[in-house]
Amino acid sequence: MAKYLAKRIFYIILTLFIVTTVTFFLMKFMPGTPLTNQAKLSPSQIHQIYKQYGLDKPLWQQYLSYLAGVVHGNFGTSFQFSDQPVSYLIGSRLGPSLTIGGEAMVVGVIIGIIVGSIGAVKQDTWVDTATTIISILGVSIPSFVLAVLLQYYLGLKLRLFPIADWGGFMYTVLPTLALAASPFAETARFMRTEMVDVLSSDYIELAKAKGLNKVGIIYHHALRNSLIPIVTIVGPLAVNIMTGSMVVENIFSIPGIGEQFVKSILTNDYPTIMGLAIVYCAMLCVVLLITDILYGLIDPRIRINK
């Protein structure tokens, strides 16, 4: 296990290095400057300012000095938020995105597993049809449409929850629901398909023949085996959701990271683009590692022996 982990961590570092390198050079091909007053600066003034930031140096030199900074934990300072360290910018805005994304994952996956299981157990009845319709709706309605509907009915009309802003649990409910739709639908669909398969397998028949009660069979035997594919999809889904949704965050005025990623690219904010690329990549790598370890816990057949 230790050897396996060491190997995986080595690969993670390698992946991070490759992603950093590719992002760095791709980003430099973008037209425009990172200067926020670009529209009013002449080329000679831009050159003058570039010199101060070291942006006039050859690309490979800029790359090496960036890498050197990263190794020492220095991700540079943002251009959009003048002088603000990128690590502080990401750190202070990632929290709300993680909170909402995390809540949405927990709510979505749990309800998804329950609804999917019910659908499978009640296969080919109206209950099954109903759960299928709900999950298809969940996949097909974009989160921002749901966000606007939730805001209008639950926030504006019924005044059950705040319309927008940030400051406590009540403020997280509507964005969580809006974001939870997609993980819910994905999990419910996978769960139902997998559970139908598992329920028709021999060992379930055996358990039934032994006279075990239905709830026991589903809980002890069927559920656990159906969870394997769920674990596969939940990892990447979690990263996707927790890195923030620009639209949902804007609709509910959440001070999250979602918009920064888009905006940093549009404004050529090089240090922020790099910082976010590294953070997202690291999150995905770690989640995939955790997923692989979880496989072993759920299914002994996949467990690593060495």
Partner 1 sequence: MKLSSFAKLGGVALLSALVLAGCGSKSSQSGSSKQELTWQESSNLPTMDLSKATDIVSAETLNATNEGLLKMSTKAKVVPGVAKNYTVSKDGKTWTFNLRHSKWSDGTPVTAKDFVYSWQRTLAPKTASQYAYIFDHIKNATKYNTGKASASSLGVKADGNYKLVVTLSKPQSYFKYLVANAQFFPQKQSAVKKFGSKYGTQSKYMVYNGPFKLTGWSGTNDSWTMVKNSNYWNKKNIKLDKMKIQVSKDPSTTLNQYNTDKLDVATLTGSQQVSHYKNNKDYKSFLNASTFYLEMNQKKDPVLRNINIRKAISLAINRKQLTNKVLADGSVPARGLVAAKMAYRNGKDYADQAEVKAADSQNLAQAKKLWAKGLKETGKKTVALNLLSDDTPAGKNTTEFIQSQLTKLPGLKITNQNLPFKTRLQRSQDGNFDLVISAWIADFPDPISFLSLFTSDNSYNNGKWKSTEYDNLIKNAEGRDALNAGKRWDDMVQAQKVLMNDQGIVPLYQQSTPKLIKSNVKGIQFFPTSPEWDWSKVSIK
Element (H, E) at 124: none
Q: Give whichever of 232 and 253 is closer to partner 1, judged by the CB atom.
A: 253
Q: How far is the CB of 97 from partner 1 (least distance, A)?
A: 13
Give the integer Cα–Cα distance in Å for 135 and 144: 17
Q: How far is the CB of 241 from partner 1 (least distance, A)?
A: 19
Compute the C-alpha angle 165/168/172, nearest 5°: 65
Question: What does the H/E/C string look like for 233-250?
Answer: HHHHHHHHHHCCCHHHHH
Q: Give whichever of 63 and 166 is closer to partner 1, judged by the CB atom.
A: 166
Q: Give whichever of 39 and 71 is closer to partner 1, judged by the CB atom.
A: 39
Q: Give whichever of 48 and 125 is closer to partner 1, judged by the CB atom.
A: 48
Q: How far is the CB of 48 from partner 1 (least distance, A)?
A: 6
With the C-alpha atoms ordered 9, 257, 53, 31, is the resulting torsion angle positive or negative? positive
Q: Give whichever of 33 and 226 is closer to partner 1, judged by the CB atom.
A: 33
Q: How far is the CB of 69 from partner 1 (least distance, A)?
A: 15
Residue the block writes with tokens 């049809």: 129
End-to-end CA distance of the chain, in Å? Answer: 6
Q: How far is the CB of 84 from partner 1 (least distance, A)?
A: 5
Neighbouring residues of 133: CB distance < 8 A, sequence distance ≥ 6: none
* Contact positions vs partner 1 (CB under 8 A): 30-33, 35-45, 48-49, 52-53, 80-84, 88-89, 92-93, 148, 151-152, 155-156, 159, 163-166, 250-255, 259, 266-268
